[in-house]
Amino acid sequence: MLQTPHCSPPSVPVLVGSFFTALFLSLAAAPGHAGEFTNFAGLKFVDIPAGHFQMGSCKITAEMQKENKIRVFLGQPPIGADCPEHNANVNDNETPQHAVSISAFQMGKTPITLGQYKHYVAASGATQGSSGWNLINDDFMRYNAYGDDAPVVQVSWQEAKDFIEWLNKNKPASDRGTYRLPSEAEWEYACRAGGNHTYCGSNNVDEVAWHDGDVPKGNGRHQQNVGLKAPNAWGLYDMSGNVWQWVEDIYHENYRDAPTDGRPWTTSNAHASNSAPESNQVKHENSNAARIMHVSNTDFSREQQEYDAAMRALHGSSWKRDTTTARVLRGGSWKFTSDFARATYRLAASPGNWYYGNGFRVVRDLP
């Protein structure tokens, strides 16, 4: 019987086989694209993986500088910021930098758009918000006259919560997720997307954010359609710029004693001063006409004066800023300078504030 002699396979197939085996293993080990979920109202969500990150900025704060003057006078060693890099150009309210652990969740791919908000108003009949003002008034229509794909604006923190309550009450039985506003820690974690860029997804603000130097002039000075700039690494658009985004947390003047597990910080800020950061931003221009933001405890920016004037027009001249239950806004907007679009920048506003640069983004707890 004729037998085929045993011989080794040719060397090329072995190499090819090894190559494809290695390629398969490398692809299996590589992080995949985030999964997506679209709910009954057309909101798209992307998966945000669990993880850890350093929240906030590192700097020697004004309080630390004051303490160091005393220490130097007494011959004691000065205290320093407990982080590897000190950044003197960030705000004290972004400190101290601290480690936070985040559980997996899903975040809206974009801020809530006008089209999505119209669907909510039509389906719910919610033409008046729980904070007492008519949702669909002349100002709302004027500031939301830029198409259904633009972010909805002039929505207060409370009205954002009303929208989310409607989502949870009207979702189908097949949707076992729970909708809510992100915590401030979740927002910054999702913004960073595993990196450490200055803005949400890039060190080049113009790649990812609409800001006051990057929106069209004239009639184009308004919020822009979502998704026109580049997304960050987790597929989130417009995290920096375009519109301010409400988060769940009550504003505190710094991160001392902040939660480290990603939960929202909802204890009342009984020690907030009358110069809460809703009103302490002042902008200057340098010799190159590039705008720089500095923080002062007494000066008011043009935007914040408008913010307060609008609230007084709505509620009367006796209205005062809420300095104990103010909520946090993140991300910056089309009207503000690029510095406000930084990943760590934070602003405070009363929960009933309906400024025409304010929008929101929804997250979904995984079932």
Residue 339 is predicted with a pLDDT of 92
Region 98-121: mean pLDDT is 97
pLDDT over 80 (residue 50) = yes
When comparing pLDDT for 238 and 74, which is higher?
A: 238
Residue 239 is predicted with a pLDDT of 98
Residue 173 half-sphere exposure toward CB, CA atoms < 13 A? 0
Residue 318 is predicted with a pLDDT of 60
Could you report the per-residue pLDDT of 244-257, keeping only the tens digit for each? Answer: 999 999 999 989 89
Q: What mean pLDDT, rounded, does the chain reach?
A: 78
pLDDT over 90 (residue 314) = no
Could you report the per-residue pLDDT of 121-169, keeping only the tens digit for each? Answer: 999 887 665 555 567 888 899 999 999 999 999 999 999 999 999 999 9
Nearest alpha-carbon partner for 99 in 229, 233, 252, 259 = 259
The DSSP secondary-structure symbol of 52 reads E
Residue 6 is predicted with a pLDDT of 40
Tokens of 297: 């405890």
117-125 contacts, C-beta under 8 A, 24 or more apart: 117/152, 117/155, 117/163, 118/148, 119/41, 119/42, 120/41, 120/163, 120/166, 123/166, 123/170, 124/166, 124/170
When comparing pLDDT for 101 and 131, which is higher?
A: 101
Domains belonging to the chain, first-starting first, are 36-56+97-365 (3.90.1580.10)
- The listed range with the strongest mean pLDDT (80-89, 135-144, 281-290) is 135-144
Region 268-289: mean pLDDT is 36
Nearest alpha-carbon partner for 110 in 138, 149, 136 = 149
Residue 293 is predicted with a pLDDT of 27
Q: ∠ CA 53-198-36 to the nearest 5 degrees?
A: 60
Q: How confident is the model at residue 108 (pLDDT cuts 50, 70, 90)?
A: very high
Residue 87 is predicted with a pLDDT of 65
When comparing pLDDT for 66 and 86, which is higher?
A: 66
Could you report the per-residue pLDDT of 203-244, keeping only the tens digit for each? Answer: 999 999 999 999 888 778 999 999 999 999 999 999 999 999
When comparing pLDDT for 296 and 40, which is higher?
A: 40
Tokens of 126: 């919610």
Q: How confident is the model at residue 282 (pLDDT cuts 50, 70, 90)?
A: very low
Region 102-127: mean pLDDT is 93
- The listed range with the strongest mean pLDDT (169-178, 277-286, 313-322) is 169-178
List Cα–Cα distances, 79 to 82, 95, 101, in angstroms: 9, 15, 27
The pTM of the full predicted model, rounded to 2 decimals, is: 0.75
How many beta carbons lie within 10 A of that of residue 184, not counting itself?
Answer: 29
Residue 362 is predicted with a pLDDT of 98
Q: In terms of residues, how long is the chain? A: 367
- CB 291 within 8 Å of CB 337: yes
Query: Cα–Cα distance between 320 and 75 in angstroms, integer?
Result: 45
Query: Cα–Cα distance between 91 and 75 in angstroms, integer?
Result: 28
